[in-house]
Amino acid sequence: MAENTTGRFHAGDPAENSMKFVMTLKQTLWLALALFTAGQGTLMAQDAPKTNPGLMVTFTADGASDTTTYQNVWLFAELGKPISPFLNPGKFTATWDGFISVDLRDNYTFKAELNGTVKIEVNTNVVLEATAASGVTEPSNKARLNKGLNPIKVTYTAPDSGDAYLRLQWSSPDFAYEPLPVSVLTHTPGVEALMKGTQLRLGRELFIENRCVKCHVGPSPATLPDLALDAPDFKGIGSRRNAAWLAHWIENPKASRALAQMPKMVHGATAKADAEAMAAYLASLKDAATTGADPAADLAVKGGKLFESLHCVACHVSPTEDKADPKRLALKQVKQKFAPGDLVKFLQKPTEHYEWIRMPNFHLKTEEANELAAFLLSKADAPAAAPAAGADAIARGKQLVTTTGCLSCHSGPDNNQFAGKRFGDLTADKWTGGCLAETETGKAPFFSFTKDERAALQAFAQTDRTSLKRHVAAEFAERHARNLNCMECHGKFEGFPVFSILGGKLKPEWATRFIAGEVDYKPRPWIEGRMPGFPKYAEGVAHGLAAQHGLPAKTPAEPAIDKEAAEIGRQLIGTDGGFSCIACHAIGKLGATQVFESAGINFAYTGERLLPSFFHRWLLNPLRIDPQTKMPVYFDQGNSPLTDVLGGSADKQINALWQYIRQGKDMPMPKDAQ
């Protein structure tokens, strides 16, 4: 049964997005010609132009437009909220352009769940035009998709009232209606409007991530959550960091970490001496607690195994490796950086002195933190001797820390005596010097921006900058999921779901708690790895993932549990006249009865985790969602092998299972398991 269910489209998940939007003029002209001359508008694979994952989408509101890429034909905008940071809230249109790629020619139909109006064109043919008020359209006309790239264009107009949303689905003779896999959707890079939109987004992101508003006071953090991005607290920092490391870091942060966001604050001939003085002052800021001790070296072996099981290499270069990687942080310097005993404390609570830190909280037990720290320290470079720190050096360091802008981002025991120009006074013509100068000026912080980054910031300066007052959940999630390296684990390690499905799978309320590290159970306890916590990012990412899938931040209320259907679901879960789900799945404290290869998730948690639409689609054909799953396919084209239950209807039986599972920890055990 499984052989015929993977579908006729490209496998894989390329929608973990590329930001490379480059296309030559020759390619652009070729594409325009091909669209007129290729049979039915289809581009043959051997001649097709280069494409990138996702579809290009242009939003228009109040006569202004913004172009970006979306992974699919999904969107959600709450009433009164903007669809793009660069557009005013209110009614808008959205136009997706790109290609559907399939491996074999076949007929497909489309339908949309929406509030508003939609028009779908495939291979230049209009296959569906419809308006719906929070409903589902009728199936479209059949669309012939040929092998290779098939141009698709979807135009959506938001409604006059209510939330704006659109979720596109497709079907073929081989599979029932489902969201289009992100792997089949691509777009042409290099389009001018897309490059402009990409540049503006980069400029806005750089402004936010580099905490520019901390020196150049501007919009309130309440308008955009991450304008409140902080930096490590200076209070007691001398008990946590070694003075020699602080001096080296302050002198040139990027020499220690290529991805460092902290700018170079000291310049010229006195840079080294200034850095040492600032380090001396910071090192003098001690906590009242006594300094701890590093863990015993014999714990390193266990720590190395823990390092592997936590997949730390997703963000870090293993301390056993000597190679450098500009995209991953080196760990050779942990002994140089952390004061004795502090690495263990840091691993247990990374957010203690830095709330928006990207280092996740794995909720390590004390013994685990000691083991992991022992492994890291066993491979680390020896710390350097601290520079001399007399009273004069400390006083001078304090004066530098309070006057050069350090306290604009870092909190501490002293008052900030630095004041940059107010954001509103920074007219576009001034975004070429100071922090944005190509070389160090000797006064302003130096961020080492690349030429493209400076150009992006300068392009952002040309806008009215009101985008800093517009929080768009989908944009927040895309940006922070990328910066937090979520895709370096999800879809890459066994048992980690592909990231691109999560927004359409998990209830955002549960996802918020899970990402924050507040769920007190492990959904997949048999996996060595674990989901860490990102408390500050959790709600924004969870809400944004839902919006990316065309869903609201709050799961719509369901009708009361259908007790009659739930009792039928209780029968279907069991082995006597059911699907024997309890063979692999636990139910509360009742363990799975016959797990031979792969356990399933405890049903007591399923109802609070999964969106009902995903549950239905998963049971209908799990291989359509995850070709590697061990979950069998029970239903064939909407029919159940249990023909004597609910008329053999797959939809009715899946609903019965859902009604039973919705009871959570209160669900009664299957009769044949009691």
Q: What is the pLDDT of residue 37?
A: 34
Mean pLDDT of the region 502-512: 98
pLDDT in tens, 578-596: 999 999 999 998 888 886 6
Residue 402 lies in a domain: no
User: CA 9, CA 150: separation in Å to the nearest integer?
Assistant: 12
Q: What is the DSSP letter of 210?
A: T
Verify that 487 and 453 share a domain, yes or no: no
Mean pLDDT of the region 173-187: 95
609: CATH: 1.10.760.10
Verify that 539 and 567 share a domain, yes or no: no
Mean pLDDT of the region 590-618: 89
Listed residues 161, 190, 219: the one ending a domain? 190
Mean pLDDT of the region 499-527: 95
Listed residues 522, 548, 574: the one ending a domain? 548
Verify that 140 and 12 share a domain, yes or no: yes
Residues 393/276, Cβ–Cβ less than 8 Å: yes
Which residues 6+ apart lie within 8 Å of 598 measured at CB?
526, 584, 630
Q: Look over the chain and give the mean of its residue pLDDT values, rounded to a whole number.
A: 90
Residues 108/171, Cβ–Cβ less than 8 Å: yes
Local confidence band at 528 (pLDDT 50, 70, 90 cut-offs): confident
Residues 152/96, Cβ–Cβ less than 8 Å: yes
pLDDT in tens, 624-664: 999 888 899 999 888 999 999 999 999 999 999 999 999 99
pLDDT in tens, 435-461: 999 999 878 999 999 999 999 999 999
Residue 174 lies in a domain: yes
Q: Which helix (H) or strand (E) holds 151?
A: strand 148-157
Residue 78 clears pLDDT 70, i.e. is over it: yes
Q: What is the pLDDT of residue 674?
A: 62
User: CA 117, CA 132: separation in Å to the nearest integer?
Assistant: 6
Q: What is the pLDDT of residue 236?
A: 95
Q: What is the pLDDT of residue 12?
A: 38
Which residues 6+ apart lie within 8 Å of 666 measured at CB?
none
What SS3 class is residue 55? strand
**Sign of the C-alpha dihedral computed for residues 161, 162, 164 and 167 taken in this order:** negative
Q: Which helix (H) or strand (E) holds 458?
A: helix 451-461
Residue 45 clears pLDDT 70, i.e. is over it: no
Residue 214 clears pLDDT 80, i.e. is over it: yes
Q: What is the pLDDT of residue 11?
A: 34
303 token code pair:
């720590």
User: CA 372, CA 378: separation in Å to the nearest integer?
Assistant: 10
> Per-residue DSSP letters for 303-360?
HHHHHHHTTGGGTEE-TT-----TTSEE-TTHHHHBPTTHHHHHHH-GGGS-TT-SS-
Mean pLDDT of the region 457-483: 96
Residues 584/595, Cβ–Cβ less than 8 Å: yes
Verify that 167 and 300 share a domain, yes or no: no
Q: What is the pLDDT of residue 148?
A: 94
Residue 24 clears pLDDT 80, i.e. is over it: no
611 token code pair:
């969106």
* Of 32-41, 467-476, 487-496, minimum mean pLDDT range: 32-41
User: CA 16, CA 19: separation in Å to the nearest integer?
Assistant: 10
Q: How far is CA 619 from CA 499, 624, 634, 655, 656, in A?
A: 20, 10, 8, 10, 12
Q: What is the pLDDT of residue 31?
A: 37
Residue 32 lies in a domain: yes
Mean pLDDT of the region 342-347: 96
Phi, psi of 194 (to 5 degrees): -70, -40
Q: What is the pLDDT of residue 127?
A: 98
Local confidence band at 25 (pLDDT 50, 70, 90 cut-offs): very low
Residue 621 clears pLDDT 60, i.e. is over it: yes
Residue 111 lies in a domain: yes
Listed residues 445, 469, 493: the one ending a domain? 469
Verify that 316 and 186 share a domain, yes or no: no
Residue 502 lies in a domain: yes
Q: What is the pLDDT of residue 221?
A: 64
Verify that 492 and 530 share a domain, yes or no: yes
Residue 204 clears pLDDT 90, i.e. is over it: yes
Name the burial class of residue 382, with classes exposed (0-12), middle (13-18) and buried (19+) by CB atoms within 10 angstroms of its CB. exposed
Contacts 24+ apart (CB under 8 A), 299-304: 299/370, 299/371, 299/374, 299/375, 300/371, 300/374, 300/375, 300/377, 300/378, 301/375, 302/371, 302/374, 302/375, 303/370, 303/371, 303/372, 303/373, 303/374, 303/375, 303/376, 303/378, 304/375
SS (HEC) of 232-257: CCCCCHHHCECHHHHHHHHHCHHHHC
Verify that 598 and 480 share a domain, yes or no: no
The b/e string for 429-445 (b: 16+ C-beta within 10 A; e otherwise) is eebeebbbbeebeeebb
User: CA 645, CA 84: separation in Å to the nearest integer?
Assistant: 48
> Per-residue DSSP letters for 90-148?
S--EEEEEEEEEESS-EEEEEEEEEEEEEEEEETTEEEEEEEEEEEEPPPPPPEEE-SE
Residue 364 lies in a domain: yes
Q: Which residue has the higher pLDDT, 108 or 494?
A: 108
Q: Domain range holding 329?
A: 237-378
Residues 446/267, Cβ–Cβ less than 8 Å: yes
pLDDT in tens, 216-258: 987 766 689 999 999 999 999 999 999 999 999 999 999 888 8
Name which of 461, 471, 541, 473 is nearest 506 in CA terms. Answer: 541
Q: How far is CA 1 from CA 466, 614, 621, 633, in A?
A: 54, 21, 10, 7
Q: What is the pLDDT of residue 9?
A: 36
285: CATH: 1.10.760
Residue 398 lies in a domain: no
Verify that 21 and 160 share a domain, yes or no: yes
Name which of 483, 202, 478 is nearest 315 in CA terms. Answer: 483
* Of 209-223, 359-373, 532-546, minimum mean pLDDT range: 209-223
Residue 366 clears pLDDT 90, i.e. is over it: yes
Residue 34 clears pLDDT 50, i.e. is over it: no
Which segment, 8-17, 207-216, 623-632, is predicted with the most confidence on average? 207-216
Q: What is the DSSP letter of 396?
A: H
Residue 276 clears pLDDT 80, i.e. is over it: yes
Residue 558 lies in a domain: no
Phi, psi of 346 (to 5 degrees): -65, -45
Residues 189/21, Cβ–Cβ less than 8 Å: yes
Verify that 463 and 497 share a domain, yes or no: no
Identity of the amino acid at 311: H
Verify that 253 and 345 share a domain, yes or no: yes
Residues 187/15, Cβ–Cβ less than 8 Å: no
Strands 93-102 and 175-179: unpaired
pLDDT in tens, 115-133: 999 999 999 999 999 999 9
Q: How many domains does the chain have?
A: 5
Mean pLDDT of the region 45-55: 78
User: CA 448, CA 440: separation in Å to the nearest integer?
Assistant: 9
> Tokens 């760990």 appear where?
331
Local confidence band at 419 (pLDDT 50, 70, 90 cut-offs): confident
Mean pLDDT of the region 33-39: 36
Verify that 582 and 666 share a domain, yes or no: yes
650, 654, 656, 662 alpha-carbon torsion, rounded to 10° = -170
Residue 566 clears pLDDT 80, i.e. is over it: yes
Residue 44 clears pLDDT 70, i.e. is over it: no
Residue 382 clears pLDDT 70, i.e. is over it: yes
3-state helix, strand, coil in the chain (%, to 5): 40, 15, 45
48: CATH: 2.60.120.380
> Tokens 């990138």 appear where?
52
587 token code pair:
């139910």
Verify that 14 and 31 share a domain, yes or no: yes
Could you tell me if residue 263 is left (phi over 0), alpha (psi between -120 and 50 degrees) or otherwise beta?
beta
